[in-house]
Structure 1
Amino acid sequence: MQTWGMSPVSRGRKNGKKPSPKESAPARRTSRPALSSVPDIRDQSPRSHDDSETELRAFTADMLEMGGVLRENDDPLMAEVAGATLAVLDALTEGSVLTEGSVGTAFLQEIVPRLEAAATGDALAVLLAVGSVASGPVSAAADAAAGRLAAAGVSRPRWADELTAPLVAGDFQRRYDDEGVAVFLSCTVERAGRPHAFLVHVDPSACGEAADLLVLPAEDLPRVLEEITAAARKDKVRLRTETLDAEEFRWQVENALDARAVHDGELPFEDDEEAAPFLRFGEDDAIPFGEEDGEDGPPYEALAFVLRSRLATLPTPRKPPAPHADDDEDDGIEVFGGMAGLVRMLDERGMDPAAVAAGPLANLTGQPGLPAVGRPPTPPLPKKPKRAKEQQAPIYQVKIGLRGAKPPIWRRLDVPADTSLTRLHAILQAAFGWDDSHLHVFETPYGRFGTPDADLGQRAERPVSLEQVLPDVKAKIGYTYDFGDNWEHQIVLEKILDPDPSVRYPRCTGGRRAAPPDDCGGVWGYGALLEILDDPAHPEHHERLEWLGLDNPADLDPTRFDAQEVTAALSRLR
C-alpha cells in the first residue's frame, strides 16, 4: 500500500480552479513510493466536446497508461484514489464534483465509450476506478461498460472484488494542545483484511479547516504520530490524546473538511512555493515523513473524496454541523423571511417581539425593527514571507499607545517581524509592566487572535506572526489586556529596519510615562487611584498604599519611564 500525503496550499489555493503541476504544493511523505509511476494526467488541459480527435485520443491514451499501473497493483485503495483524482480534474468536471458528486458529461459522452472500445484490461481498470467513486450517470456508465468488458472476457484486476467488500473503521483518536496550535484526527479502516489509516491535520487558526490530509498503511500510523508528538515537544507544545466514538469522529472530521471546502471556494489558487509541510510547529521544524518531496501525489480533493466515503459508513451525527465562522459572524438578518423567523423565535421564547424591536433592535441598528447591517467579510490572513534558511527577518519599529490615557502612555519597540503573536503578548506585558493575570486578544483586520475561543470569536495566536497582521508601514492593530479593566492598546508599524547584528532584540527605544498597575479599574480607575495617593487625607489612601505594597506614595511615579529598564525586562524573556 502506498502512503499519500498532501501539503496543499493552505492560504493561496482556491476559487474552484485546480492548480497546475507547478502550482501543486509538494507533499511530505514516508519513504514508501507514492503514485510516482502513474502518468501525471493533470498536465492535460481541459477538453470539451469540441476538442480535436487527436486530443481525445491522447487523453484516452494517458488514462489507459494509468489503467496499466492500476491493473498491476493489488490494492483497491489505490484505484479509489486514482478514480477520485480523475473525478476532481477540470478536464472531467462541470461544476463542483465535491458537492455534486458526479463528473462531467465530457467524460460520460466521450471518454467512457473510447475506454470500452479499447477492450483491454487497462481500460477495465480505469472504468472500475472511476465507477468506485463517481455517482449518478457517470457511475452507471462506467460500471456498465466495465461489466460488458468483463463479460467479453477481459480480465479484471486483482482488486476488483475487494472494492465491494465492507469497510470497518475504528481507533478514532484526537490529538490536540491546550493553546490551539493544531489538532490531529486519526482512524484506521480495514477492508478485505487490508488496514489503512487516515490522518487529518486541523488548523484551529483557520476556522478549523482540514489543512492537510494523509493516507497511509495502518502499521505506519503509530510512527507518524510519534514524529508529530516529537516535533511538538521540540517546540514546547504538549499534545494530549483523546479517544472519540465513531459519531463524534465523523462530526469533527466533516466539520474540518467542510471548512476547507468553504475556503477552497473563496480564494484563488496561487503559485505558493512556500506551502507548508504536513505540520510545522516552529519556523524551521517539519515532521520528517521522508527525505524526498513528492510532487506527483494525488490532490487533496481526491483524498478528501475517499475519506468522505469512509465517513459515510459511520453513524450519522445527531448534532448539527458546526457553523463556519464566515457564515455566522455579523451577517445580520434578512429583512423579510429573516425577520419573520426572528419574530417566531421570540414568540416561542415568551418575549414580546414589538418590545424587542423598539428596544434592543433599535439600539443595535438605529432604526426600530430593521436588521443590523453585516460588516464586510474578514479578509484572509496574509501568508508568511518566504526566506532563505540563513536570512533574518527585518526589524519592525512599532509604537504602542494606551488608549484613553491622558497624558499619553506609550512605548516604542524594535521587534523582529517574524515574532509570533504569542511572544508579542509576552513582550507587551513586559514593556508595560503588566503581570499577565488576565485574558487578552489581538484585534486585526484579519480577525481576532488570542487563546482560541469560539464564543469570543478568537482564533489561535501562536501560529500567527507580527508581519502577517502588520504587513505595511502605518498599518495598525489593537491589543486588549484584561477584559474587565479593558486596557486597550494601539500598535502602529512606524518603520521596517534592517537587523543590526550588534543589537539584541526586542528592545525599547522610547516611550512616555509609567504604565498603570494591574486591576486598578482601567484608565478611569487609574486616574482615581493617582488622586487618592496624592491626598493623604483621603479615606482610602492607606488602603490603596497597602494594596500596592508601597510605603510612600512617591514610589508610584506616573511620570517615570526608562527605556533601558524596559529593555532589561525584555531581555529576561529570552
Structure 2
Amino acid sequence: MSPTSRGRGSRRRTSSRDARSGSRPTVPPTSDTPDTLDACDCPQCSGGDELDLVIDGLLASGELLLTVDDPMEAEALGATLLSAGDLIGEEAEEAFVRGLVPALETAGTAEALATLLAIGSVAPGRLGTAAGDAADRLVEDGIVRPVWADELEAPVTAGDFQRLNDDQGEASMLVCSFHRAGRGHAVIINVDHNDCGAAVDILVLDADKLSEAVEMLHTVASADGIRIRAESLSPEEFRWQAENALAARAVHDAGDVALNLAEFLDGDDDNDGPAYPALAMLLRARLATLPEPSRPPAPHPTDDEDGLGLDPGIDPGLTLLERRAGGAGLVRGGRPLPTSGGPVLIPDGFALAPPSIAPSVALPAKRKKAAGPAPIYQIKVGLRGTKPPIWRRLEVPADIRLERLHNVIQAAFGWYDSHLHVFETRYGSFGRPDAELDYRAEAAVTLEQVAPTSNDRILYTYDFGDSWEHDVLVEKVFSPDPAVRYPRCTGGRRAAPPEDCGGIWGYVELLQVLKNPDHPEYDEKLEWLGVDNAIDFAPERFDAAAVNQALSAIH
C-alpha cells in the first residue's frame, strides 16, 4: 500500500535542497512534455496562484495528518485527493505529477511529507512512483516521518472473502476483511444486479464491529421475510467480482459531473466520512494486494443487451435461492427497497452469514425401534480456517438429535451457546425453526438422517457474527461398546478461540497482540481474557479429560 511496500526504493540525488530553493519547481522538458506550456491545463502550467491555493489546502490536510495515528486516515485523505482527480479526467495525473507533487516537495515540511505519503499509499502508476520518490527524498533531507508511516508500510493480509446473496439474485454484498499491523477493517460492497452489477456503495468499519452488525442484519432480515445466503470466494474471485462492480459504477458515473480539484478539497460538511469515489479509490488499492484474477474483466452490458441481471460469469443456479412468494427485497446501499412489510434498515456493517448447502433430496426416515440400537459414529469436527488446525474427535450415537449434537459441539469447543447456530446439510438447514429462513426444527432430526454413511459431511455454523464454521465428518461407523458412555471425546488439537473475539481474523490478531508485550492493546487484551499474563492463555492446550467432563454434564 505504501511506496515502500509497492517496491519503490529510495533514489538519491546530488543536490536535493537546491530543488526547493525557489517558490515553484522547474519542470524539465521530457519526451512527454508539450512543445508549449499552453497545451497543458494543470496548475503548474496555467498559473501559480491556482497552484499556491491548492498547495495551501494540501498542507493544511498534512497538518491534520500529523495529529492522527491510524494510517487508514492518511489513506482516506490520499484517496479523496486522487478521486477528485479521477473525476476531473486524465489531465489530473499530469497536474499531480508535474505540479502538485514537485510543489509539495519544494515546501519541504513535515506536512508536505505526510501528504505525499498519503497520496503515494493509494496512487497507482507513475503518480504513486512520483509521490513515493518525493517522500523518500524529503526523508533523506531529514524531514521526520509521521508516526503512522511505519505502519503504513506493513504488509496487508486479507481474508473472510464472502458473497452474501438475496434469494432472487437482485442484490448481493461482497464482504472481506483486511488486516495490517494489528488493525483490522472490514469492507462491504453493496452490488445491484439490476444495474449491471454496479457497486451501490461501500462500507468500511472496524473488523471487531462485524459480529454485532451481522446479528442485527439477520434479525431485521428475518423479520421482513428476507433470506440471505453466503458463498465463500477465493481471493482471486473476490477481486474479480469487486473490480467488476467498481468498473460498472465508474461507467455509470462517467460524465455526470467534473469536479474542480480545489472545490473537492473543501469537503462536505454534511458527510461524516469519505464519499463513494474516495472509498472506491481506497478499495482499488486494497484489491491490488490480492492475487490478480486469471480471467479478464467482465464486459459492461449496453442498454440494448439482456445482461442486466446477475454479474457476468456468475452461474444463477449458485446464487438464486428459494424464497417465499411475496417476500421483500434486500436493502441496498443504506436505502431500503420497497417491501411488503415496511422499510428495512441496513446496519453499519455485517459479518459472515452461514454458507448454505442447497437441499437436493428428501430427508431419509428416522431409524425404527425394530432396527435395534443405533451404531456409533466417530466424527471429526474441525474449525474452518484455523492453522494449526483446531479439531475434536467425538464418538456419538448415530441417532443423536441435531439439537443434542449442537450441545455436544458447544461443550467440546467450550462455546457458551449465546448466539444463533445452524446445521447446513444436503437435506436442508436445521436449527431453531424459522419459516422465513427455511430453517427446520433440529430437535426432530437425527445425525444419521442427514449423514447416513461414512465420509458424509455436514456444516455447523455458530455465531453468525464471528461465523465459527465447523466441518463435521463421519469418519467411522461401528457397534457401541456397552462399557462406554457416549458421547465422548477421544482426541483433539488446540484450544478453541475465546467467544466473541471477532472470528478467525480476530483470533489471529489477538494471538499477535499477546506475543508482543509492547503492543498498545496488550494490557487491554489480557484484561478482556481475564488473565494476568499471556502465558496463562494457552492456545496450544487441549484437555480431553476436561472435554469429557463437560460432555458428561449434558442431559
**Max Rg structure:** 1
Indicate the TM-score class for this superposition, using the shorter chain for normalisation. 0.3 to 0.5
What TM-score do the two structures reach when normalised by structure 1?
0.42
